[in-house]
Amino acid sequence: MTSNHAVDTPEWEPRQLRNAIKAAGVALWTWNVDDDKFLMDAKGFELWDLSDDHLLTFESLSGKIHPADRDRVRAAFVATRAIVGPYEIDFRILTEASDVRWISARGQGDDAGIIARKMTGIFLDVTGRKQAEEGHELLAGEMGHRVKNLLALAAGLTTITSRSTSSKEEMAQQLTQRLTALGRAHDLVRPLPGGQGSAALLGDLFTVLLAPYDDSGAFAGRIRIAVPRVGIGEAAATNLALVIHELATNSLKYGSLSVATGTLDVSGNMAGDDVEFVWTEQGGPEADPPEGTGGYGSKLLRRTVDGPLAGSIAYEWTKSGVLVTLRIKGARLSK
């Protein structure tokens, strides 16, 4: 049996619609496609970081769009005049404080349905969502990079161990010890739980992290460490450990630690309030600079040094090996 009752369609009052729009945090806009005049409500001016006494055109508003997105957004807005149906585009804008804000523009495109040659839509601040997406992509890329490095390290440590052992039993014992040491070193790359204060002395951090890469027997002692006696905090230990781990991995794969005769010297000194480290590799393959900006590891290094450690990193490529100069703010080491 079929019901004859029709579903009631609610009639929204203007006040209810305004409250709903305000609660959603959206801004309304109107664009006159003939004279390019662009109108926004108060929320729109707030999102775009503009005073509401501006006389806007779409062209002038485009000046606030991030240069990398500007042409794409202009093309998309023009295309809406000929595209039937809903559209959505996300882009970045620059605020007066030079901060980057992500905006999502949504509306309905149908040239035949434009009333008085005007189009209407909404703006929505999606900065939080975009930052979360970028964070997830960065984490996924970093995890993939570390897994590949760990596999390469296992192979490299096996080669090192085979050079200094004479039986499979001795090799198995030493390789197990190296992999165990690598596991302890890897723990330093992760944040310490519960805010445990000072994590280690600077020299101890280098020693623990580089111990798995040193040889024994005839090849023992090819890694030398001489750094200032400085205490480092939890955050600095985590970030510096990541840098050391990345440099050591590259050396084991391509540099002086990849051959039996190669050496690594890590020296450090105080340079005013900063601490400067020099990572010197010798006796390995000739060091060639990477093409372009380098791979993910190079980007990870620069992001860590430039950001949390507030320092700088420089490379010198020589026939005897790579020389890396790392400078870090002393105040950051204690955090």
pLDDT per position as a tens digit, 43-71 = 888 889 888 777 888 888 888 899 989 88
Banded model confidence at residue 132, pLDDT cuts 50, 70, 90: confident
Phi/psi-derived region of residue 265, left when phi > 0, alpha when psi is between -120 and 50, beta in every other case:
beta
* Rounded distance between C-alpha atoms, residue 236 and residue 221, angstroms: 27
What pTM does this model have? 0.49
Q: Which domains does the chain have, with CATH numbers?
A: 14-125 (3.30.450.20), 130-333 (3.30.565.10)
Decide if pLDDT at 24 tops 90: no
List the 223-226 sheet strands across, edge first.
223-226, 263-271, 274-282, 322-329, 312-317
57 or 192: whose pLDDT is higher? 57
Token couple for 40: 């926004």
Amino acid code (one letter) for 190? R
pLDDT of residue 191: 47
> Under a CB-based contact definition with an 8 Å cutoff, are residues 52 and 42 in contact?
yes
pLDDT per position as a tens digit, 260-288 = 888 999 999 988 888 999 999 999 888 88
